[in-house]
Structure formats: structure tokens, C-alpha cells
């Protein structure tokens, strides 16, 4: 087995030899490792992945292979044990304003929506705006209305989540993810709870967002249909990337060491 230590722990910037590569990507994950403290399982075992602005990437693989763990790292909701994530060439793990950065640049869509039950759709969409650029109450409401219109939910703006269908809740969650005009949208099984009609609506929305807003989309999915709609499919197994239909496959630490 290769000793990875030479490649890791470079927390003061992009490691020599990788600067050019990182700079071309919106997001560049460099050899991520993660073992959860209460288990022997290495959830990520040297994953590298570069994603361009406006690119639509599907991440697939068997249950337990590390997809959600990777997505959480890419969205800096969790930190790797080793490795680094670069956003426009800048390392993220040492950034001090991470909460602010995340709120303004990244939108999340989770499988179980996490809408606040006591708030209406229109209010739920506004929640992230309190961490984004300062807006007046009127501007926030207007923006929420625009986003609800974008996801086809204007008619339900004043309903609370309990009074919405599952597909409608997911569309509100997508509108909320767009509240601060992110450049990167991360979605974990966004159609997992939806019937095929609602799943199609969400997929159409993703395609439109990619085209109209030049959003980078990274979508974790078990669904072949979702994967087919993406520009690129990244397959994982046992904490590693085992296939990548994208043009620029980044060598893992093992293959880099032997090349
Ligand atoms: N918080 C945690 N604590 C301990 N182990 C965890 C934790 N989260 C995930 N794991 C383990 O890490 C591995 C990767 O989990 P992960 O959730 O990333 O898989 P996944 O590919 O998203 O699976 P699924 O398709 O079922 O959602 C699994 O073996 C899982 O049991
Ligand atoms: Mg998962």
C-alpha cells in the first residue's frame, strides 16, 4: 500500500504541482479521507474530484460507499481527516468565515427536506437569506416569491409544510437552497422520496438551473434516470471513486504515486 502522508496535511495552500489543476475548477476535492470515530469503516479512502462551474455531476454507488459523506465534505458540513477542498483555488478547511461562505455560495437539498414546520413555504425560503447579503423584509419576501414561482409553487406560498405534498415540499426545499444565489447546489437523493412525475419536475428544474444560472450541480443518487440527466457520472465504491465519465479524471494518491 502506498504511504499517502506526503500528499496530505498541506493546509497552507494548494500543494505544489496541483495549483494549475485546482485553479480551473470551481470545486476541487484533493484526496479526502474520512473515518468516523465510532467505527472501523473508512467512509472515504482517498477521493479526489474536480467540478467545473456549470457542470452537472451525478454521484452513484452502493449503499454505504461514502456518497453522503463525500457530499457533506464538499459542502463543508463536515471536515475530512485528511485532504483538502479548494473553492476557486482557495483551501476551505482553514477558512475562518466558513458559515458565511457556505450560506452564500452553496445550496443544499437533502432527501428529507428539513423545512421548518411552523413556517409557511414563503417564510421557509427566506430563512437562509438572514445569513446572506443584507436585504429588507420587502426584498426578502419578493425574492422568496420569485423563487417559489421558479419552482412552480406560487399557489402554495402561504401553506405550511404539513399542508404540502411531498413533491411540493421538495420544490420548496429547492427554492430555499437557491435563496442566496449559490454557485454550487448539492443534493442528496433529491428524488428519493418522489414519485416519477414529481421526480421529473425536480430533474427539469435542475436542468433549467444549470442552463439559466450556470450552477454547478452535484447530485447523489441511486436513480438511473437522475444519472442519465447529468453531464457526468462519478461512481464510488468502498470510499473511492472507481469510475468517472468526465473528461478530466484526477489520479488518486495511489495512481499518482505509481505514475
Ligand atoms: N455519523 C456516522 N458515524 C459512523 N459511521 C458513519 C456515519 N455516517 C456514515 N457512516 C458510515 O460510513 C459509511 C459511508 O456512509 P455514507 O452515509 O456516506 O454512505 P452512502 O453512500 O451515502 O450510503 P446510502 O446510499 O445508503 O445513503 C457507511 O459504512 C456508514 O455506515
Ligand atoms: Mg447517503
pLDDT, tens only, 85-115: 999 999 987 888 888 999 999 999 988 889 9
**Residues 35 and 43 sit within 8 Å (Cβ to Cβ):** yes
Domain total of the chain: 1
User: What integer pLDDT is reported at residue 41 of this predicted model?
Assistant: 84
Ligand 2: centre distance to CA 42 (Å): 15
Strands laid side by side in the 106-109 sheet: 106-109, 184-188, 216-220, 56-60, 232-237, 240-244
Q: Which of 32, 35, 37, 41 to mutate to test the pocket of ligand 1 (most atoms within 8 A of CB)?
A: 41
Window from 22-26, 104-108, 123-127, 196-200 with minimum mean pLDDT: 22-26
- Residue 99 sits at φ, ψ, to 5 deg, of -65, -45
3-state SS, residue 25: coil
- The model's confidence at residue 16, banded by pLDDT at 50, 70 and 90, is very low
Question: Residues 117-165: pLDDT tens digits?
Answer: 999 999 999 999 999 999 999 999 999 999 999 999 999 999 999 999 9
Residues 6+ apart with CB under 8 A from 224: none
Residue nearest to atom 26 of ligand 1 (CA): 63
Q: Name every protein residue with a CB atom under 6 angstroms from any ligand 1 atom.
A: 36, 38-39, 41, 43, 61, 63-69
Which range of residues forms the domain containing residue 22? 5-258
- What is the 29 CA–ligand 1 centroid distance (Å)? 19
* The predicted structure's pLDDT at residue 91: 92
Domain CATH code at residue 215: 3.40.50.300
- Which ligand has the minimum distance to the alpha carbon of residue 67? 1
Q: What is the pLDDT of residue 6?
A: 28
CB 30 within 8 A of CB 48: yes
Amino acid at each position: 500500500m502506498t504511504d499517502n502522508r506526503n500528499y496530505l496535511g498541506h493546509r497552507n495552500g494548494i500543494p505544489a504541482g496541483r495549483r494549475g489543476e485546482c485553479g480551473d475548477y470551481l470545486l476541487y476535492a484533493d484526496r479526502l479521507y474520512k473515518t468516523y470515530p465510532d467505527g472501523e469503516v473508512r467512509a472515504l479512502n482517498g477521493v479526489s474530484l474536480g467540478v467545473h462551474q456549470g457542470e452537472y455531476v451525478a454521484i452513484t454507488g452502493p449503499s454505504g460507499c461514502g456518497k453522503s459523506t463525500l457530499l457533506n465534505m464538499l459542502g463543508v458540513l463536515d471536515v475530512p481527516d485528511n485532504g483538502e477542498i479548494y473553492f476557486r483555488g482557495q483551501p476551505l478547511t482553514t477558512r475562518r468565515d466558513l458559515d458565511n461562505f457556505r450560506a452564500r455560495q452553496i445550496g443544499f437539498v437533502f432527501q428529507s427536506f428539513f423545512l421548518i414546520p411552523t413556517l409557511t413555504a414563503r417564510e421557509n425560503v427566506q430563512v437562509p437569506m438572514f445569513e446572506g447579503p443584507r436585504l429588507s423584509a420587502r426584498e426578502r419576501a419578493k425574492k422568496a416569491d420569485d423563487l417559489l414561482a421558479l419552482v412552480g409553487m406560487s399557489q402554495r406560498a402561504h401553506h405550511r409544510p404539513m399542508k404540502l405534498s411531498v413533491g411540493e415540499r421538495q420544490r420548496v426545499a429547492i427554492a430555499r437552497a437557491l435563496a442566496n444565489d449559490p454557485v454550487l447546489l448539492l443534493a442528496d437523493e433529491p428524488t428519493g422520496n418522489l414519485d416519477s412525475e414529481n421526480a421529473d419536475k425536480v430533474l427539469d428544474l435542475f436542468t433549467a438551473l444549470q442552463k439559466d444560472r450556470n450552477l454547478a450541480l452535484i447530485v447523489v443518487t441511486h436513480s438511473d434516470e437522475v444519472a442519465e440527466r447529468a453531464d457526468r457520472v462519478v461512481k464510488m465504491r468502498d470510499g473511492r471513486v472507481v469510475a468517472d465519465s468526465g473528461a478530466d479524471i484526477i489520479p488518486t494518491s495511489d495512481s499518482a504515486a505509481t505514475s
